[in-house]
Structure 1
């Protein structure tokens, strides 16, 4: 897959996506968001992809925000449409993907960059990372799910503090408050993400997708238990379930095919 603002490749069933705008600290402009939308869709529908690692180019930034110049003269209606399309095509698309997305946060994750990381299912930060939502310093609020996902991850009080003060937190503090799963040296960042996905790759792909959908339903649906029950039932219809049971009885490792 050839993109202007992304580097993407699949190796051993892992899709590696690197936002490649290092000179702009990997800021999200319209073209980058469009390319992200395309590669997210590819990940979801491609059986070869079992998981995704999303990171930024260089050692300074994961994504240092959105390209403010592109929407500096927008009116209210245009602003709403910007947020709506971003939610649909990128941020919600990541969260609702059947494939696990890991954000490998290799530096600054600010504004839309932190929102992008929070849309991912798992977050790992390098020890030099700084995370924050500085939108109120521009007279805005987070518009790509930041007010919602930050609250879900760290709680109402901490979310309001971070958003209204526009303060950054260190990687260490981000781990303490539940904003990231792990903090590692930058040299170990991709390796740690690969370790997690290599474990997930051993599990039944349809069950992994069902689990992600059910967990997300706890936040997005009125009654997530209904989704869980439905997904639980569907698992019984899969070949992977039958293989998993046989492997358990035969005391061997299961060989799942995602069917």
Structure 2
């Protein structure tokens, strides 16, 4: 079984940031921290014009928070720090002056939906169903909620947040604004992502930076908002309900 990693590769002004975890690309704290740093570094790199964010493996794009770490949380501060990991990644994506293209090859759950939603333009395959499962374990999509709501609108976000058992189809995600395109295969998607990124590299980088600022207008308070949300999750994860539920998942 491969070890978890975050790796970055830049070629012809396109930087690919790839994360991987053997547990369905779930995101423990150390991987979240590396991911946030990689996004920040690529944003500051003059050699980078466009970023592609992807995960390793063929099946799941991202299973969200690490269950192992969730189960281990035993005080509010630890919980807050854990959930702040997703806040840091989303804020790094928001502040990054380069367009971030998402490449979603398969199912994505919880925090993974937040990561996909924080990309600026997202490609997916027909296998890329989405689910916000947090309510199932007694918490809610508090930290990723603003990013998901920004793409799906309040109606779409609340629908998938309340219906926490259900996977929603990639077509539903496309129709509601999360995915720009849905492809029949990963191969077809990869060809399209590469072509799209190469085309973006021919545009004025300053214009793209200004556009990115425009697209994220109204999110300037997320530095504090997402951490306030992390506190809510950190508190709820210690509730009797959540502790009992997590025991069953063990």
TM-score interval, smaller chain = 0.7 to 0.9
Moved over 6 A (4+): none
Offset, 1:79: 2.6
* Separation (CA, whole Å) in 2 of partners of 1:59 and 1:161: 28
Offset, 1:115: 0.8
Query: Residue in 2 aligned with 1:10?
Result: 10
Query: Residue in 2 aligned with 1:131?
Result: 130
Greater relative CO, 1 or 2 (CA 8 Å, sep 6+)? 2
Query: Residue in 2 aligned with 1:153?
Result: 151
- TM-score, length basis structure 1: 0.78
* Separation (CA, whole Å) in 2 of partners of 1:109 and 1:102: 16
* Separation (CA, whole Å) in 2 of partners of 1:85 and 1:62: 18
1:208-250: CA deviations, max 9, x gaps?
A: 1111012201x3259xxxxxxxxxxxxxxxxxxxxxxxxxxxx
Structure 2: tracts of 5 or more residues without a match = 222-250
* Aligned 1:1-259 pairs, distance under 5 A: 5-21=5-21, 23-72=22-71, 73-87=73-87, 89-145=88-144, 147-166=145-164, 167-185=166-184, 186-217=186-217, 219-221=218-220
Structure 1: tracts of 5 or more residues without a match = 223-259
Q: Which secondary structure state, in structure 2, belongs to the residue aligned with residue 123 of structure 1?
A: strand
Contact conserved, 1:37 with 1:90, CA < 8 A, in 2? yes
Offset, 1:152: 2.1
* Separation (CA, whole Å) in 1 of partners of 2:202 and 2:163: 43
Aligned residues: 216
* Separation (CA, whole Å) in 2 of partners of 1:77 and 1:4: 25
Shift in CA distance, 4/173, structure 1 to aligned 2, threshold 3 Å = closer
* Separation (CA, whole Å) in 2 of partners of 1:86 and 1:128: 24
Shift in CA distance, 10/29, structure 1 to aligned 2, threshold 3 Å = same
Q: Which secondary structure state, in structure 2, belongs to the residue aligned with residue 54 of structure 1?
A: strand
